[in-house]
Every structure is written in structure tokens, then in C-alpha cells.
Structure 1
């Protein structure tokens, strides 16, 4: 066990691994502390949304995941209601179906390749911070870090050690999980439906096994109660009209789903991200995605700070930008699950009629698809940066892979970057009519405007805000 690190990340899930890779790419010494001794076979997330794919694209990982997954352009909710994702203004106008462990493996490989230290079997049992850093107790050792990040899930030790509350409530109890074989798999990539007194969801692992989520309103049992194949068959037949030839299971369990959010994502030198900061129903598949987007926002800001190149207050913008997003996801996923749980036939008819009509209105369809996918989520002073083609080939998101700001502007802008070349990549656009745009490392717009305003924009955003790229 090491005794000193610049940033300690507690938790080697998707959010923690993305953050580790970002920090290591920037040249920051980073250590991930994971209590599990080996990889868990528990995968609850199966969908990678468009905005997350854009963040992975900016790290050179998206195409690999897309090649091994199954894209779907319409997200079915219940009955005949579905969200059309093909309208998304993105290179990825779909939901990619792939198990969470595929995302974790890609992120861990990147993190290790860039120099991150990942220690498994390292349960954190104590946390204390002072004005100069954070002490983490791991076994009989103490790890000293300048900053720490709790990405350790819904039962976060870090959050509890900080004394931060996690207000909210349970919205669904006794959700059954099963990894099964099917002799008659669904024709669609996903099979999902709700019928008032239950719902079922089937997603493929891609290796012949399938994950089923099933909920039975009439049979609410503790999380510790056993699950049988007959329990799964009964709900699946009721919701989907068939059990798709369910023959065997390698794993069965129960869990409950909460809606909770910490009031703050930062306490001194310690930050929260992912499920440690917010948790919500699985409806819409936004959980893992929101956590990855949290750390995409935090990473470059933390790197700039520890390398002493950040303006005052930069780290405070993490909570200011991401806390409202967490609140939005709680609302949107909560709306979906409450609509799915409508019990009466009249209520479901009204839901389907009104919801179906609304989703056929292009502005509504774009708004809903943008919210669920993350593509439509902007920060108040930093909208999402759309991918644009660059002169001579390539795209903006490829230029972002260096981990620095990117200035989308013609070659004539180069003199303005004098002294900042190690922190800003100049990327001339293929379309000369493209507005001059300064893009943050997390693919949000820092500035867009007239050429004569660029020097002031660079002073505000870049002068001390971004570490040099690693050679």
C-alpha cells in the first residue's frame, strides 16, 4: 500500500475509472482504492447513452464499445410508447446496449495505460481531512492525498464519513434480478413492458446469457428473500406475454431502488461522484451515464488545480454544474417509473394516449430524447459542444483526446495562442463559416464569439485553468 498520492479515488466503478484515466493523462499522480478483491459479476447498467458515448469518443474508446454492442434508435418504455433517439444531433443517435463491465474494462485499460495506480482489496475504513490534504485509512495503513473523490456507490463510505446526508426515499422494492438462458430470445435487442402490477426488462450480455429485471406488485418481499425461476417466469409472462423460453439461471437476487441526492458534492478537499452523490430508479438507463458525466466534468478541473494552474473557484463549478443535472435525472427517471407503475387500465390508457400524442410532436420528441440521452443537457454558461469536421480530416472530439482546450478557428488565430500552445489545441474547421469557439476539455463551450474577443476569452478561461498536456 502506498503512503502518498496526489488524488485518491475510492471506488473502481465506471465513474472512478474514467476520472483516474483523465487525471493520469494530465500527469497527475492518482491512486484508485477498490474494496473488492476482484471484478464483480453484478451488472445493473446495460445502456450507454449518446452523451456518454461522446465523452468516451473524446477519450478514444467509443468506437471499440460500439463495435461490440448493439445500438437501438428507439427506447421503448411501456406498451407502445417509445422515445425516438434517431433525432439526436450526435454521431451516436442511439442507445448502445452493452453490459457495464465492458465499459469498465475499457476505462480500466486506459487508466492503467496512462499511469493510474489501481489497488484492489483496499477497503477504506477511515477518512480525515485538514487544510493540507486528506488521510484515508486502508487496513493498517494511512494514505495521504491532496484530494479525494468518493466514487464508491450508493452505500458510500466517503459520503458517510463526511457526515453528508442522503435524503430521499425508496421508490421500488423487491426488484428481482436474474442472469438466464433463453431458448426463444426476444426479436428486439431489448424487451421491456409494464402492465400495472408488474414489469419486466430483458437485455443481452452478448454471450448467450440475458439479464432480466422483474417486479411484481403483488409479491413484495425483503431484499434477502430468495428468488426462483418460477417467480421470474410469472412476471415476465404477465408483462411480455412470454417468458422467452427461460430455462436456467446462473444468478438470482433482489434489490430495491431509491431516489436520493446528497445536498453537496464537495466538502473541503473531498468530492462525491456517481451513485455516491445521487441514485435513482433504473428507468431510462441514466445511472451509470450520469456518473461518467460527473467525472468528465470534475477531472480536468481537479487536474488544473493540483498542478497549480486553476483560477480561484474552478473546483466549485463542479457542484454548481453537476448538482442540477443530478436533480434533473432524479425527476426524469422518477417520472418514467411512476408512469410505468400506473395500475388502473383507464390510467394506462390515458398515459398511452396523451404520452403517445406528445411524443409525436417534434419539439417534445427532441426535448425528451435530449434529456434522456444527455445530449440536451447544457450548463448555464457552457453549452454542449457539437462535434464538427476539421480541416484536412478529423473531428473536434478527436482533437479533444489530448485532454486540453480546443480552439476551433482558422490558422489566423494561432498568434493569439502564444505562450498557451501546451494548453490549447488549434483545430481549424472544415467549414470556414464555423464561429470561433473555445471548447473545454469536457466538450462544453467555454466561449464563442468575434475574433477580436478571443484574447480576453483565453485570459479568462485558459491562462491558469488547464495543465499542460503530457509529452
Structure 2
């Protein structure tokens, strides 16, 4: 493919970049993915939790069942600090759970889809700079330049794209010398995941369902340099401090050390360059929301890029940062609260934490708020003055008149109109809603327009956002 034919360059082939590339390629956009790692990308990764809203995002692309088929542990509840229970099984979704599965399973289904849709990949390609001129973006690499109309940095916390366009990444390190491993437990805990915090140590362990457990551990009394090798005994010590046992941990498949930062870019865009995923925001692993937030960034941005490239109003791209930056900010706050409570060394705090959280989580409003936040189900985007209150809310996966589901109708980056309005080229028409309201559902599964039946208003909405003329 000639480089001048590229319309979007995606830098980074993690989950965020792969979903974005797949969406664009399925929409007919000529997309190039640049990845600094080799084609034999390591299957060792930090992320492990796929939450309900992300499963819905994958379902809208026909991928959720493929991911479940690769294995994992489907959990309907989480236990935080003993008696504090997060009941995901009560969520109003086709996926009332969290799927504990390695990140490389997620990457596998997303990468296979992107390749099948025609996305082009270049591995071992390190970005050295980004220039913008005359409405095009040039991404400079060690083996040549590539140009496109737009570029998206999905290249992680140390994003070369973010640095090249001069967007700062303010924040701080929350915890240093955190350890991570996948290992076998001879005497595993009764519940998964399990969180332990005591004696200056904090640990999280989760069952992948294949005989291995993800272990994240931190010991305040034993802080080492980030590049120091992780010894198995070091992790066992932290587990024993936090839980009173090391669960018979042995045979770690891999081990690594990292530090947990809280950082967020003040802007997600510089001209024709966008940031998504860890390149735009990073936080502690508490809550397992990092990969999920990045995938949902990509789902928000992809259809907008495709629409503008096909003639929709360019102002549509301004809504990406307006909608996703507040979400990233809230995830930082939520994960920060969890990790700070967990890492608190006070014995008094430990007693108070268990009692207060256990009681609070038995209150329905608290339970609803916590489950909605962690799962991503309650994320909503702002609506404008005069717009219906449903605008910006997640659309539930309703059954349609033809026997299919709404999220099946969204596949291929399509809009869906819920009420029986006359169809147009890029939308599917679904069954009537019981409240009599017409809803236009965006390709990312959020309601873009709502109101009493008004074909002219629906068409005006779609003409500005779906390049329908």
C-alpha cells in the first residue's frame, strides 16, 4: 500500500489501538498500525479484567463470544477487603459479570479482526517524531516517514506520539516497586479475586480459570528499583503479610516490577493527532479499569474519525475529548481511592475500612454506584441545552422486531434508529420503544438523539454525523 493512501495511522498495537484499527478498517478507512515491538508480541501482560461495558463493546463487534471461547473466569461478584462485596450479577446487561482473562486473549480477537478487515501492520517500527502541515500528519520512524490525514497515539504511558506533539502528562507515582506475576497456588483463597491489606503490604490475586492466578503485590518495607529482578520469595513475603498466607504460590510463569502512576493528559488532541488509552491517562491497577477505559476511548473515537473522513461535520471530532476526558478523570479518582485505602498501613484504618465498607456495600444506592462505575455501565456523556435527558446515556441491548438484538444491528459501525423511522443508507431500523420516544443509537452504543417521532430531526442528526446526504 502506498503511504499516501493512508487515512489514519494508529501508533501502538495494544487493545486500544487494535480495536480502533479494526473499527476503521471495517468502515473502509485505510489504516496503518505502527508497533515498536516485533510481530511475535509477548503474551505477558498486566491487564486481566474485562468489565461488562467492554464486553458490550466487543459484542457490538461480534467478538464477545470469541473472547469467552478462549477461556477465563466469569465472576458475578467481587470481594473487596473482606466483607465488602460488589455484586455485578445485578447489572442490567447481557454480561452481568467481569471476565478474568489475560490481556493477550483480548489482543488476539481484536488483532484477528483488524487483519481480516484489511488494517495494515508494521512491526518493529519505532516512532521518532510527528509533524503536521497542510492538513496531514507525518509520523517519522527509524525506517521512514508515513503520512495520513489523522494519527492516533495508543502507544502507552511513555507515548512517543504524545511527547512529539508536546502534550504534557502531569501526575505522580502512587506506589513504587509493585510486583506482578502469574503463578500456581496450591491452597487458593475461597473467593476470586481476593484483596488483602495488612502489615504494610497490599496484594490482589485473581483466578484466570486455567490453573494460574494473577498476583499483584506491594510491600512497603521492601522497596526496590524498578529494574531490579523480582524474586519469588519477595512476592510470597508480601502475600503472607497481607493475607497471613502465601497460598502455596509456586511456578510463576513470569514476574515483573512496575510503579503505579496517576497521570492524565490535559488535552486528547493536537490538530490531527489524537491520544487514547494509556497514552492519554494512566492509573493504578485497582479496579482493573485501565484496559477497559482505553478500549472505550477507541470505540468513541473510531466512528467519529470514519464519519468525518466520509464527509461528516469535522466538528464531530471535538466531541471525543469532551466526552472521554471526564471519564478518564473519574477513573483516576476511583482507582486512586481504592489503592490508597488498600495501601494504608494504619491498623485502626484496617478495622474501620472493613466495617465501614462492608456496611456501605449492603446499601442499594452505594452498591449501584460502585458496580456502575467499576463496570462502566453507568458512564454517560454530557448532553447539550435543549437535548433530551437520554442523550449521552448507554443504550440497553434490546430485542428487535426481526428477532435480532440492538448490539447486533450496530455491527459494522452502523447507527440504529429505535422507532420504525424510514431507513437511510447507514442506519438500521428497529422496533418501537414502549415509551413512544424515538432514539438514535450511535455506533458506540450511546444514545445520540432522542425525542418524539420526528423524521426530519433524525435525518438532520444523521447528516451531520453519519455522512448521509
Q: Secondary structure of 2:181's partner?
A: strand
CA displacement at 1:188 relative to structure 2:
3.3
Q: Does 1:353 align with 2:358?
A: no
Residues 303 and 467 of structure 1 are in contact (CA less than 8 Å); yes or no, is this contact kept in structure 2? no
- Give the conservation status (yes or no) of the 8 Å contact 2:84–2:359: no
Cα shift at 1:3: 2.4
SS in 1 for 2:302: helix
Question: Paired residue for 1:365?
Answer: 367
Residue 167 in structure 1 maps to residue 177 in structure 2: no
Q: How does 1:67-78 map to 2 (within 5 A)?
A: 67=69, 68-78=71-81
Residue 128 of structure 2: SS of its match in structure 1? strand
- How far apart are 1:117 and its partner, in Å? 0.8
- SS of the counterpart of 1:180? strand
Q: Is the 8 A contact 1:153 1:276 kept in 2?
A: yes
| Deviates most, 170-179 or 268-277 | 170-179
Match of 1:125 in 2: 128
Equivalent positions of 1:108-123 (< 5 A) are 108-123=111-126
Give the aligned partner of residue 134 of structure 1: 137
Distance in structure 1 (CA, Å) of the matches to 2:413 and 2:232: 48
How far the C-alpha of 1:386 sits from its partner, in A, is 1.1
Shift of the alpha carbon at 1:241? 2.8
Task: Tell me the TM-score normalised to structure 2 length.
Answer: 0.94
| SS in structure 2 of the partner of residue 153 of structure 1 | coil
CA contact (8 A) 1:72 1:94 kept: yes
SS, match of residue 411 in structure 2:
helix
* 1:85-132 superposed Cα distances (whole Å, 9 cap, x missing partner): 122111111111111100000000111111111211111112111132
| Structure 1: gaps of 5 or more residues | none
TM-score by length of 1: 0.93
Which residue of structure 1 lines up, in the alignment, with residue 321 of structure 2?
Answer: 319
Q: Following the alignment from structure 2 to structure 1, what is the Cα–Cα distance between the partners of residues 99 and 393?
A: 24
Correspondence list, 1:328-343, <5 A? 328-343=330-345
Segment of structure 1 superposing worse, 181-190 or 43-52: 181-190
Partner in structure 2 of residue 384 of structure 1: 394
- How many residues are treated as equivalent by the alignment? 457
CA positional deviation for 1:363: 1.2
Q: State the match for 1:425 in structure 2.
A: 428
2:93 to 80, 87, 90: 90
Using the alignment, how far apart are the partners of 1:181 and 1:347 within structure 2? 31
Residue 298 of structure 1 deviates from its aligned partner by: 0.1
Match of 1:399 in 2: 409
CA distance in 2, matches of 1:335, 1:247: 31
Q: How many Å separate the matches in 1 of 2:156 and 2:283?
A: 12
Of residues 312-321 and 337-346 in structure 1, the stretch that sits farther from structure 2 once superposed is 337-346
One of 239, 251, 254 as aligned partner of 2:254: 251
1:277-316, aligned counterparts within 5 Å? Answer: 277-308=280-311, 310-316=312-318
Query: Cα deviation per residue 1:273-297 (whole Å; 9 max; x = unaligned)?
Result: 0000000010000000000000100
SS in 1 for 2:255: strand
Select between 253-262 and 116-125 the one with higher mean Cα deviation.
116-125
Contact 1:196 1:341 in 2 (8 A): no
Q: Against the structure 1 CA distance between its residues 312 and 141, is the aligned structure 2 distance closer, same or farther, given a 3 Å change threshold?
A: closer
CA contact (8 A) 1:26 1:467 kept: no
Match of 1:265 among 265, 268, 271: 268
Deviation string, structure 1 residues 366-389 (Cα, Å, up to 9, x no partner): 011101111011001211111111
Contact 1:172 1:256 in 2 (8 A): yes
Q: Identify if the C-alpha distance between structure 1 residues 180 and 69 changes in structure 2 by more than 3 Å, giving closer, same or farther.
A: closer
**1:205-233: per-residue Cα shift (whole Å, max 9, x none)?**
44433331110011111111222111111
Question: Counterpart in 1 of 2:29?
Answer: 28
Q: Which residue of 2 aligns with 1:12?
A: 13
Deviation at 1:423, TM superposition (A): 1.4
Instruction: Please give the alpha-carbon distance, in whole angstroms, between the structure 2 residues aligned to 1:102 and 1:57.
Output: 15
Determine whether 1:193 maps to 2:193: no
Q: Structure 2 unaligned runs (5+)?
A: 384-391
Contact 1:274–1:290, Cα closer than 8 Å, also in 2 = yes
